[in-house]
Every structure is written in C-alpha cells, then in structure tokens.
Amino acid sequence: MGLSIEEVRHIADLARLRLTSDEERRYTEQLSAILEYAARLKAVDTSHIPPTATVLPLRAPLRPDVPRPSTPREHILSNAPQEKEGMFRVPPVLDTTS
C-alpha cells in the first residue's frame, strides 16, 4: 500500500509542513515502506495469543507502606520566609478587591 505524492503533500499540509520536492519524494518512499510493513504485521495470525498489557512480570517496585513520624512542623517552617499560625504565609495571588 504505497502513498502517492499528493497524499504526502496533503499530510504535510495538515501538519503545517513545507516540504521540498526531494523531501516529498523521500517521505513518499519512507511512509509507503512503513505502511507496507504494517500491512505485513496485520497478516500475522495472532488468534492463539491472549491479549496482554505487558510482557514483563507484574510486580510493583514500591517500598512497603509503613507508617512513620512526619517531619516536625517547626523544622519545615524554619525555612519559610514568613510564617503565621503554624502555616506558610504567602502573598495573595488573586485580586480580592473585585
């Protein structure tokens, strides 16, 4: 299933690409080769292969979820430019006058 040069020009136009005539010719050949390979893959009988999401074994590389004490609030707020009532104080980001 080869692409015509007009189809490549249409694809380039949709992608907002300006191609030279050499690029149009090269992309026509390359895209046609890709489509031909995809057609070959489509012809392979995969009916005996169950659908899979991954070929790798399922394992979660996560550490165990163990409760532990959190960092003290005073230590976290010690780096804050401003603090008020145990919270970070930041300048307003929205205009609240309207």
pLDDT in tens, 29-68: 999 999 999 999 888 998 888 888 777 877 777 888 899 9
Tell me whether residue 86 is in a domain.
Answer: no
Q: What does the pLDDT average to over 77-90?
A: 90
Greater model confidence, 91 or 24: 24
Q: What is the CATH number of the domain that holds 28?
A: 1.10.20.60
The residues, ordered by sequence, that sit 6+ positions from 25 with a Cβ below 8 Å of its Cβ are: 5
Predicted TM-score (pTM) of the model is 0.48
**How many domains are contained in the chain?**
1
Residue 9: domain span: 5-42
Is residue 64 in a domain?
no
When pLDDT is averaged across residues 13-20 and rounded to a whole number, the result is: 96
38 is a domain residue: yes
Q: Residues with Cβ < 8 Å from 61, sequence gap 6 or more?
A: none
pLDDT value at position 98?
59
